[in-house]
Chain A
Amino acid sequence: GNSVTQMEGPVTLSEEAFLTINCTYTATGYPSLFWYVQYPGEGLQLLLKATKADDKGSNKGFEATYRKETTSFHLEKGSVQVSDSAVYFCALDYGNNRLAFGKGNQVVVIP
């Protein structure tokens, strides 16, 4: 089936540190891949996406590269800010714009 696996547990780091959140997927074919972000008390919003292998999605300093050989779409940011504190979800489109989400990672950035 179609599924997304994110690394376990919250991520706590200091301001200006490097952030990586791992995401791997299982799917038929080559689905579009997404990172969504959820700020406290809000709905999800799209952070970035990639629609085919080797594509790099980027937005607000965040990047993720679609790697079909490792079925991965890891999220990275070189220097995080307190305002990046949120929950981050990896997702894939398995047809008709239906999304399968990972469990999410809480990111806490300490000043």
Chain B
Amino acid sequence: NAGVTQTPKFQVLKTGQSMTLQCAQDMNHNSMYWYRQDPGMGLRLIYYSASEGTTDKGEVPNGYNVSRLNKREFSLRLESAAPSQTSVYFCAGSGQVSYNEQFFGPGTRLTVL
């Protein structure tokens, strides 16, 4: 089992460009999450999906959109990237292996110039 995988691992964008961060899990999790990690800020929830077909805003959703394509995949889209979105992005899943334990992917380091 690969667990939770994310692509790409690194990305550099120019201001105004768009991109999609991909996340997939093979652990049959019902819930999936997107976080951003900034120095000195801990992790902050961007969006989450409690089950296939549903998505909800988290703490910092502005500038992002998400798609729960199926039970395995949960993508995060930046329509018009801004330097404030420079961060490390983590995807996580929960709900199948161990209730309320989240399993994290390795992260995507995004730089917006």
Contacts and interface: CB of A to CB of B under 8 A. Distances in A.
Given A32-B100, A44-B104, A96 B41 contact: no
If over half of B's interface residues share one DSSP class (helix, strand or loop), that class is named, otherwise mixed; here it is strand
Interface string A70-111: 000000000000000000010001001111111110000000
B43 A101 contact: yes
A46 B4 CA distance: 14
A49 B102 CA distance: 11
Contact of B40 (A42, A45, A103): A103
Contacts of A44: 43, 90, 92, 102, 104
Contact of B102 (A46, A51, A103): A46
Contacts of B58: 98
A12 B94 CA distance: 33
B50 A102 contact: no
A43 interface: yes
B101 interface: yes
Contacts of B4: 43
B41 A103 contact: yes
A34 to B, nearest CB: 8
Nearest to B38: A103
B102 A99 contact: yes
Q: Which of A4, A46, A93, A97 has the most CB of B within 10 A?
A: A97
Given A42-B106, A43-B106, A45-B104, A98 B42 contact: no
B105 A98 contact: no
B95 interface: yes
Interface string B12-53: 000000000000000000010100000011111100101000
Contact of A96 (B42, B50, B92): B50
Q: Which 5 A-B pairs have the closest CB atoms?
A: A43-B104, A101-B42, A103-B42, A101-B43, A44-B104
